[in-house]
Structure 1
Amino acid sequence: MKKFEEKTIQTETIYDGKIVKLQVDDVTLPDGKTSRRELVKHAGAVGIIPITKDNKIVFVEQYRKPLEKSLVEIPAGKLENGEEPSVTALRELEEETGYTASSPTFITSFYTSPGFADEIMYLYLADDLEPVENAASGDDDEFIELLELTLDEARQYVNEQRIHDAKTNYAILYLETLERM
């Protein structure tokens, strides 16, 4: 057994939905005791940082029901079954912004909430944007508005908590790092 590994004794699926699966695992802890873990299983997601030719970042604003408010975020979406993250990045870019890019650059991946969920997010940069004629539309239940902001304006949105999610904050920190190089 690995140093901190917890061995699953039993898994009970509570809910199996379109986006998440909820389960409760009974586990044996490294010290031999047992405990329960409530888990969210997720297919994974992609976020993309779109940069226009005039060096603005394309964001989407949308209502987030769990928070009961709107947030300004980088375009993002769930991986479809068997879909490569780079394909998801381009699909979401087109659906949410009406842009495409020839070669998005992979930046990194990270776990969004490892204390209770297995969702992994892949982050890409697209700085060769081209508008798409007759762009694919997004989900029927998705209502978004586009914003193009400078990095300074995005920082102000962070201070105002209009940008207030991890993937978008990570994207802004990444762009700040590039700016310093």
Structure 2
Amino acid sequence: MTEHMKERTLERETIYTGRVLNLVRDRVELPNGKLAWREVAQHRPAVAILPVADDGRLILIRQYRHPVGEVIWEVPAGLVEDGEDLEQAAQRELREEIGYRALELLRGPSFLPSPGFCDEVIHLFLAMGLVRDPLEMDDDEFIGAKFMSKAEVLEMIRDRQVTDGKTLVAVLWFLGGNWG
């Protein structure tokens, strides 16, 4: 039904290969037969986790994000490492970034944060039954975690203090209540 909308890749040129992403340039044939170039950031899969304490408070982290030049609020998240399944990656990120592991890890939706130029997929999880079990943070991460009520987080969203897309999706999914 949507076959008539697809583009066909004719050639691919690798422009850059990095630790987090690769950049390629594809020459494509459009549905109307014309040719075009598409720049694609190839990104490894990632997980994002919304930790919920036993008392119902949410845990958000703050960290500096160089591309936007700001310290921002977000949920714990990170890349899936080679050989890890999604749940293992989620538990590792929780332990590194907030010092807890989850006794109950519920799989949520997966989403494409920027499909216009990037193939990244982020897989959401809800973490409950948190147990103190810290891992050392990555050498290049400087993170602070804070427990907050749902009302505080919603107020921060309304006040545009939370602007990170994966965090907005995670919180709104959780508050929608269709997760368990």
TM-score, normalization: structure 2?
0.94
1:166 aligned partner, one-letter code: G
Superposed CA offset, 1:119-163 (max 9, x none): 00000001111111xx21121011111111111100111122221
Superposed CA offset, 1:89-109 (max 9, x none): 000000000000123000110
Match of 1:31 in 2: 32
2:39 aligned partner, one-letter code: E
Root mean square deviation of aligned Cα = 1.6
Superposed CA offset, 1:76-100 (max 9, x none): 0011123211111000000000000
What is the DSSP-based 3-state SS (H/G/I as helix, E as strand, rest coil) of the residue aligned with 1:66? helix
Match of 1:82 in 2: 83
- Provide the rounded CA distance (Å) in 2 between the counterparts of 1:14 and 1:82: 26
- Provide the rounded CA distance (Å) in 1 between the counterparts of 2:103 and 2:155: 30
Superposed CA offset, 1:13-70 (max 9, x none): 1110000000110001111100000100011100011011111111110011111111
- Provide the rounded CA distance (Å) in 2 between the counterparts of 1:59 and 1:84: 23
1:159 aligned partner, one-letter code: R
What is the DSSP-based 3-state SS (H/G/I as helix, E as strand, rest coil) of the residue aligned with 1:102? strand
Number of aligned residue pairs: 178
Match of 2:60 in 1: 59
- Provide the rounded CA distance (Å) in 2 between the counterparts of 1:63 and 1:159: 21
Q: Is the 8 A contact 2:74 2:162 kept in 1?
A: yes
What is the DSSP-based 3-state SS (H/G/I as helix, E as strand, rest coil) of the residue aligned with 1:128? strand
What is the DSSP-based 3-state SS (H/G/I as helix, E as strand, rest coil) of the residue aligned with 1:109? strand
Task: Determine whether 1:141 maps to 2:140.
Answer: yes
Q: Identify which range, 110-119 or 157-166, moves more after superposition.
A: 157-166
Q: Is the 8 A contact 2:100 2:131 kept in 1?
A: yes
Matches within 5 A, 1:114-153: 114-132=115-133, 135-153=134-152
- Structure 1, unmatched stretches of 5+, are none
- Provide the rounded CA distance (Å) in 2 between the counterparts of 1:148 and 1:142: 19
